[in-house]
Structure 1
Amino acid sequence: MKRYFLSLIAVLLLLIVTSCTPQDKSSNQNEEKSNIQGNNKQENIQEKSTVTKPDTKSDGANTGPFHHMDYKAKAAPKFSADELAKNPEGDWLTNGGDLSNSRYSPMDSINTSNVKNLKVEWVTSLGSGFEFKYSGEATPIVYDGVMFTITGANHIQALDAKTGKMIWEYNAKLPEELNTVCCGWTSRGVALGDGKVFVGLLDARLIALDQKTGDLVWETRVDDWEKGYTITSAPLYYDGKVYTGVAGGEYGIKGHLAAYDSGHGKEVWRKFTLPAQGEKGSETWPKDSDNMLRGGAPVWQTPAVDPELNMIYFSTGNTSPDLDGSNREGDNLYANSVMALDADTGEYKWHFQEVHHDIWDLDPANPVVLFDVEMKGKLRKGIVQAGKTGWLYILDRTNGEPLIGIEEKPVPQNEKQKTSPTQPIPIGDAFVPQTVTDEDVKRDLPKEFKGEYGDIFTPFWDKPVTLKPSPQGGANWPPSAYNPNTEYFYVLGNDNYFAYAHYGEDEEDKFEEGKEYIGSVWQPVEKSPSRGTVTAMDIKTNKIVWQKNWDTIAYSGILTTKGNLVFTGHNDGRIIAYNATNGDEIWDFKMDAGANAPPITYEIDGKQYISIYAAGNTLAGTKHGDKIYTFSLEGKYGSLDDIPKDQINTSPVKHKAAKNEKDQKGPDKKVAANDGKTIYKNNCLACHGAEGAGGHNGPNLQETEMDLDAVIKQVNKGSGSMPPFEQTLSKDEIQSVAEYVKSLSKK
């Protein structure tokens, strides 16, 4: 009888526990109405953003987290504003290191005197993201001895930050048919707080995982990827809310930033970056048009927060159609702008537009950085954004007014493009060239080049015009950093040649929901060089202090420390350390794939570590891989050849790491060798665009005449910024994709 009652009690307890799971709580709360604030009266946002009960059978569902080892670290609390705002001394709690996105650490155990002694402490092969369509751009988060990161294939991992051994892994299972990605499949990181890991997925879902197990706690549909909405940025956790924006400016979306309750994923507020008719800013668009419903202005990066002012800051992306201004007369707010909102409600506070009526894709993709500095005897609250234009926009973050002068100056005009008569020109130095000179043409461009060329803000129409900076920048997405000791701002820049020309077609006939919508032709000038810069700018004068010039684009991100160091990654696989004061290069280590993600630093048991994800990048055209490298002064391995293969941690789940360079297919379903279109989508689309119509880094294949043998050779060997595929595709796959590429020229 006693055993019977004990069994009955156990059953009752089990029923009580299973009826109170987070999943059921999330499902019940989904029936409540959202508290929507901001300019969102035009749409039923509840249809856009829905919290769903975790369902392992649903589309895009988790295949089940892999638990590799016991998790003994403590759960992340509801971090206070002070904890998140201070510079990272031990843990690395946010994507930018702190709420200011400063990417500065006050740790100095590693410094200019001993950085040459850095060696590899551990290496972990994450086991996904090998195909060329994936890019490794993530900044890891570190808390209480555990690192949280994500691959370009949207696999999320928790690692022991001392050893690199995998604790758990979650496969988000992106839809295989996902095709509304402008710039390669990627994720720039995760967020942490309230015992959860928060992730914005490429298919426009926002999810929360249990920090200790990797189990799905809640899932929210932010928007529809089929309509062009994607999420590439890392979310931000702050004050019990998770903030995320949406990408997709090339697809005619309506940009927005939104806040979600960290406990259950319900939307708290959503602020559209395009004004409704009658709202402030709507006067900068044509009257009675629908441009503001599909005008772009996405949010590409993780915001920053000033808890004292209770403002959240970010910049907005390009207009839609991106390169055609003929039917959107006006400045087109709030595209191409730095914006400040109330962090609690999403209420508009101020904005500053960097490029009026943009027709060049010169939108600000670099994360904003907050800083405090004394200017003219007064402590100023600043915010700086590094533009694709090649200028820093240095503003007062209390009101958006320039801290260093920015002047409206006349620029060249084109009546058909409805160009703005003036553009804001910052006082100070540009960190990349902004003019194509006669000397440039003679030195860099092919002899057969006969096109027109100009400088920043030169308009174009039916004749191709070659300009600088290009859509790659200036500064692109790779995060910048600010060091309060040197009072220098460190930024990566790109310097290459792009040509623009108008379609000559009615743009109204071209818009189709979920299809690329840029309005004109753009492409890099073939056989021309691409260069990069690493620059230290004086935050008080906006002048260059030192600059390093590379013979390739700079496409990774920056970390700076109290040890007077600047760390960054190079396309050739090196992580490099510079002296933060004078720019001297004082250490490097070459890894097995392109170093195209920002480095971080953290400390455990008094030991400082430097860590970076080296997995390559589609738009940078770099070698792909899947590894996180972590260094310390007590590390054992001084070169890649020194690392024993059995000392590399690997993912123990079925999508194993590549055994060699030819086995880089990752976890995706096997593609038939004769399916040229799918092979093209997985390897070529980001650079060359859908159906070869032009992407972000490659020529328009519909206008390129090449015989089949020439295409096969090009795919095999690569050239310029295009990498060779002979090590990643089979002969049959190369034959098939070459035949598909050849067929595109008939269009």
Structure 2
Amino acid sequence: MFEISRRRMLGETAAMVALAGAGPFKAFAATAPGASSLPDTEWRHYAADQASTRYSPLDQINADNFSDLEIAWSFKTDALGARKEYQFEATPLLVKGRLYLAAGSRRDCIALDAASGELLWMHRLDEGQRALNSPRQLSGHGVSYWTDGTKERILYVTTGYRLVSLDAATGIPDPDFGTNGIVDLKLDFDQQLDPDTADVGLHATPLIARDTVVVGAAHAAGDVPAVRRNVKGYVRGFDVRTGKRKWIFHTIPRKGEFGYDSWLNGDADEAGNGGVWAEMSADEELGLVYVPVELPTGDEMGMFRRGNALFGETLVALDIETGKRRWHYQLVHHGLWDRDIPCAPILCDIPVDGKLVKALAQPTKQAFLYVLNRETGKPIWPIVERKVEAGDVPGEWYAPTQPFPTKPPAYDVQGVTIDDLIDFTPALRAKAVELVKNYKIGPLYTPPVVSKPGRWGTIISPGIQGGTNWPGGCYDPETHTVFVYSKNQPGVIGIIPNTNMTVSQFPQVHGISGEEPRPQVAMGSETNGAPPPRRPAPAPAAAAGPPPGFLAVDGLPLLKPPYGRITAIDLTKGDLKWQIAHGETPDNVRNHPALKGLKIPRTGRPGNLGPLVTKTLVICGEAGFYTNEYGVRGAMLRAYDKATGEEKGAVYMPAPQSGSPMTYRLRGKQYIVVAIGGGNYSAELVAFRLPGAA
């Protein structure tokens, strides 16, 4: 399972494209002139279908030939913007032989010929300072498609937070939609916003169901919030033909609305954020859209959002026609760990007690898969409230309990114990034990603490990025199995007094004692979403080991591997079927002098990855670069037997997977398409097919 195929190590990249729907979620098919006897298949939604399954029944590419894949074509996005992009998160759509996606640092909407990669049309809004101020930069996740059988439209959200509707054939704005094809999302938002500076944008695709376009909202990272009363991240539904607003759902309830009483002292009136930055799912038959909500303002500080504070970190089912709440389930009460629900729930029909139940499965940053009845919101297996520890941050409010699913079990490491620490050698373990003496450790939901020398903060696992993040998982309807990638990368949460009110209006913010508060940065800015480099806090001259806040032991990860894994979860039983380390061992681990002579199995590697499942395979690229035995730097696209997790093939890519793969069949040939990029390798879309398939 840990042996890697070394075939075709040069000149190849991996691209994966997955076909839509099964069961109640229909796949789309069309036969183009001159096509072979095999019908073309399409990928009309960001995650294959409205259920977010990322499933395709295609099997021309299979275990026997996966390692033979060759590049059919590639498309660089360097010219689409004033600067190159290195964080290319797109998954394209495939409709009638064309790929549609957003690309480039200015977020152009483009159409490509799916057989050749030729650019067919491009649409761009030059939004000036409004785009430069956006909290969500670069190309985002993608676009959405709609048709009534006659009209065909591509819709996307610009960097500056405008909703655009384009003719799918030409890329020309729809004159019947909004104003010249554009709806300004900073208007008609039940709050007054500055059009150029308001902290709101979106990376996610708009969701379209029953002729309603549902749009979420995202904000700058909230660990050091600039203001207390930030933009409220409401969710809205628009008429897909006209752009007229149909409804709005207040993710932070107003007085008199359901959920307002879950806030103490009227905190809901002042709080902001609470947006939906993740992708969403929809069940048109039930008339429901499933909305994963983030925290209100203050990712690790809740002193201004006291109480359980609905609908923070809550999955909400809304009526697609009216926006009315049908049900909700809060996954974390008064979160202090930045456990925003990061991705769309996967809708699935599963057998429970001999009956087929309409369910959903929600992957999370905390590495729990929450499985609920999607009609009612009730858990399929019991979710129990357990007491959790309170912290010591002045003015903070602590929830006494948190919900813990009894099934399925956690699919990655939760919390930190001594047994979780690096143990390649006794010396490394001893250093790790000494390091964690300067931190608070404990189980999942161990609270953040005031940072001070000797207790710099709380080590949390999974870290703030998860677990699972925005790409989410995939689902095989044949075996009722969810496949999800997760990373094992802990983080530190310390709370420090705010000494600079020009950076934040909060009296305490996320940080390490001795540091200055670090201002928020836009996701996808020049730093590609990373905060400014941490200035190490001062330490005594005799102190040894890494600076406070850095969780490394002689340059090695603090915790034992795997650092990244793929897990198969059986939804008929609520059990884990298999787990494998996903990703080649990082160079700094393989080549570390302290590990010389040790035989270490593949460790996997951390990142944000979305897998694809086909009739026989689970396919996923690697996060990050590694150097192979020929001295070539790159990453691998890997395929695993979906029944066992055994690796069946791998092909070389010049850069890591950055967007989730998809697949389609065109003129009898199956393609896999994936966005890659990172490090010093700029964004590229790569299409793979088998040899002789031209």
When the two structures are superposed, what TM-score results if normalisation uses the length of structure 1?
0.69
**C-alpha distance in 2, partners of 1:333/1:367?**
19
**AA at the equivalent of 1:139:** T
Counterpart in the other structure of 1:366: 343
Q: How far did residue 132 of structure 1 move? A: 7.4
**AA at the equivalent of 1:541:** K
2:417 to 437, 446, 463: 437
Q: How far did residue 603 of structure 1 move? A: 1.3
Instruction: Tell me, yes or no, if structure 1 residue 414 matches structure 2 residue 476.
Output: no
Q: 1:248 to 1:215 in 2, by over 3 A?
A: same
How does 1:274-293 map onto structure 2 within 5 Å? 274-289=252-267, 291-293=268-270
Instruction: Tell me, yes or no, if structure 1 residue 259 matches structure 2 residue 222.
Output: no
How does 1:599-610 map onto structure 2 within 5 Å? 599-610=661-672
Q: How far did residue 409 of structure 1 move? A: 0.7
**AA at the equivalent of 1:92:** W
Counterpart in the other structure of 1:400: 377
Counterpart in the other structure of 1:680: none
**AA at the equivalent of 2:213:** V
Instruction: Tell me, yes or no, if structure 1 residue 547 matches structure 2 residue 547.
Output: no
The worse-fitting range, judged by mean Cα deviation, of 82-91 and 595-604 is 82-91
Name structure 1 gaps, 5 residues minimum: 1-80, 617-621, 638-747
Q: How far did residue 216 of structure 1 move? A: 2.7
8 Å CA contact retained: 1:389, 1:469: yes
Q: How far did residue 565 of structure 1 move? A: 3.6
Q: How far did residue 173 of structure 1 move? A: 2.8
1:283 aligned counterpart, secondary structure? helix
Counterpart in the other structure of 2:458: 465
Counterpart in the other structure of 1:613: 675
**C-alpha distance in 2, partners of 1:183/1:242?**
20
**C-alpha distance in 2, partners of 1:454/1:372?**
37
Counterpart in the other structure of 1:138: 90
Counterpart in the other structure of 2:204: 233
**C-alpha distance in 1, partners of 2:207/2:22?**
15
**AA at the equivalent of 2:156:** V
Counterpart in the other structure of 1:723: none
Q: How far did residue 112 of structure 1 move? A: 2.5
Instruction: Tell me, yes or no, if structure 1 residue 311 matches structure 2 residue 305.
Output: no
Q: How far did residue 274 of structure 1 move? A: 1.1
Name structure 2 gaps, 5 residues minimum: 1-20, 30-40, 175-180, 187-194, 422-427, 452-456, 513-533, 535-548, 584-603, 626-634
**C-alpha distance in 1, partners of 2:503/2:110?**
41
Counterpart in the other structure of 1:27: none
Instruction: Tell me, yes or no, if structure 1 residue 163 matches structure 2 residue 116.
Output: yes
**C-alpha distance in 2, partners of 1:525/1:130?**
34
**C-alpha distance in 2, partners of 1:99/1:274?**
26
Q: How far did residue 287 of structure 1 move? A: 2.5
Q: 1:255 to 1:445 in 2, by over 3 A?
A: farther
| RMSD (Å) for aligned C-alpha atoms | 2.8
The worse-fitting range, judged by mean Cα deviation, of 135-144 and 518-527 is 518-527
Counterpart in the other structure of 1:46: none
The worse-fitting range, judged by mean Cα deviation, of 177-186 and 333-342 is 177-186
Q: How far did residue 446 of structure 1 move? A: 9.1
**AA at the equivalent of 2:182:** E
1:519 to 486, 493, 509: 509
8 Å CA contact retained: 1:137, 1:556: no
Counterpart in the other structure of 1:561: 614
Q: How far did residue 509 of structure 1 move? A: 8.7
Q: How far did residue 211 of structure 1 move? A: 1.4
1:625 aligned counterpart, secondary structure? strand
Paired positions, count: 548
Counterpart in the other structure of 1:486: 479
What CA deviation, in whole Å up to 9, does each residue of 1:569-621 have, x standing for no partner?
433332221111111122222222221111001111222211111133xxxxx
8 Å CA contact retained: 1:84, 1:94: no
Percent identical pairs in the alignment equals: 27
Q: How far did residue 330 of structure 1 move? A: 0.8
Which structure dedicates a bigger proportion of its chain to helix?
1
**AA at the equivalent of 1:245:** G
How does 1:685-724 map onto structure 2 within 5 Å? none
**C-alpha distance in 2, partners of 1:356/1:576?**
38
8 Å CA contact retained: 2:136, 2:219: no
Counterpart in the other structure of 2:366: 389
Counterpart in the other structure of 2:525: none
How does 1:583-662 map onto structure 2 within 5 Å? 583-616=645-678, 622-634=679-691
8 Å CA contact retained: 2:86, 2:682: no
1:519 aligned counterpart, secondary structure? strand
2:682 aligned counterpart, secondary structure? coil
Q: How far did residue 129 of structure 1 move? A: 6.5
**C-alpha distance in 2, partners of 1:454/1:180?**
39
1:246 aligned counterpart, secondary structure? coil
What CA deviation, in whole Å up to 9, does each residue of 1:268-319 have, x standing for no partner?
2121211111221111112233x44433221122221111211111211122
Counterpart in the other structure of 2:402: 423
4+ runs deviating over 6 angstroms: 81-84, 506-510
Higher relative contact order (CA 8 A, sep 6+): 2
**AA at the equivalent of 2:397:** K
When the two structures are superposed, what TM-score results if normalisation uses the length of structure 2?
0.74
Counterpart in the other structure of 2:275: 298
Q: How far did residue 533 of structure 1 move? A: 1.6
8 Å CA contact retained: 1:285, 1:292: no
1:452 aligned counterpart, secondary structure? coil
Q: How far did residue 248 of structure 1 move? A: 1.0
**C-alpha distance in 2, partners of 1:577/1:287?**
53
2:146 to 193, 209, 213: 193
**C-alpha distance in 2, partners of 1:312/1:587?**
37
Q: How far did residue 413 of structure 1 move? A: 1.2
1:215 aligned counterpart, secondary structure? coil
